[in-house]
Structures are given as C-alpha cells and as structure tokens.
C-alpha cells in the first residue's frame, strides 16, 4: 500500500522562535525526542510528551510523529535541526521543512518564520 503524502504550511512568529532558542533548556523540556532505529541505524526521532502551548505544539507536531527529514536531509542527527534553528535566529533563513510519519502516513510541513 502506498503511503499518502500530506502537506502542511505553518507560520511561526519569529519572536516565539527566538524566545524558544534563547531559553533552550526550557524548550528541550517541552517535548521528548527518542531515536528510532532500523537495522542499528537511526532513521528519525519520535516526538512524545509534547506540552500544550509550547513551540512543538505550535509546530502542529503530535506525540506519535517520527521526524525523518529536515530540509530534505535525513534526520539521523539532531544537530541538523539545531543548525536550521540557529540559521533562523541569525535571520539567514526564514523557512524550513520537516518530513515526518504520523500513523503510517508521510507528512511534509513547511514552516514560515515571520
């Protein structure tokens, strides 16, 4: 059976993104990311324990999501996501994409930071 690709476009206020970056310790407490592996290799990160009202909630992520790609790159390393966040903080970029699976369906979310 072919997995359906769903697409979302979500706008996040820059002030919220900046505040989350400035308070990284608190941000890391608003959700849990667990490495998902296949044949001993990390294939993505399952998101769980998302706190309502936090950045991950505003990003429309759900507790069952497994992030597999960040801007088209495999999400085997959380540093890839962090690098994107830092580029947004420095105004080097204003958009990013996440690809994740949710209950067997692939979803691509395009985020606009303004």
pLDDT at 4: 55
Indicate the burial class of 98 (C-beta count within 10 angstroms; 0-12, 13-18, 19 or more): buried
Tokens representing 22? 């400035």
Instruction: Pick the more confident residue, 88 or 32.
Output: 32
Structural domains of the chain ordered from first start: 5-113 (2.30.42.10)
Exposure string over 14-27, b if 16+ CB within 10 A, otherwise e:
eeebeebeeeeeeb
104 CA to centre of own chain: 17
Confidence (pTM): 0.82
pLDDT tens digit sequence for 26-63: 888 889 989 999 999 999 999 999 999 989 999 999 99
Q: In DSSP terms, which residues pair with 106 in a beta bridge?
A: 5, 101
Asked if residues 96 and 9 have their Cβ atoms less than 8 Å apart, the reply is no
């Amino acid at each position: 059976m072919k997995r359906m690709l769903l697409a979302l476009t979500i706008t996040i206020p820059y002030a919220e993104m900046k505040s989350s970056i400035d308070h990284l310790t608190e941000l890391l407490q608003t959700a849990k990311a667990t490495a998902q592996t296949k044949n001993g290799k990390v294939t993505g990160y399952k998101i769980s324990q998302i706190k309502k009202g936090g950045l991950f909630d505003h990003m429309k992520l759900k507790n069952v999501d497994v992030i597999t790609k960040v801007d088209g790159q495999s999400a085997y390393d959380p540093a890839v996501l962090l690098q994107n966040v830092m580029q947004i903080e420095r105004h080097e970029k204003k958009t990013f994409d996440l690809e994740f699976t949710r209950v067997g369906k692939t979803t691509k979310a395009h985020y606009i930071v303004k």
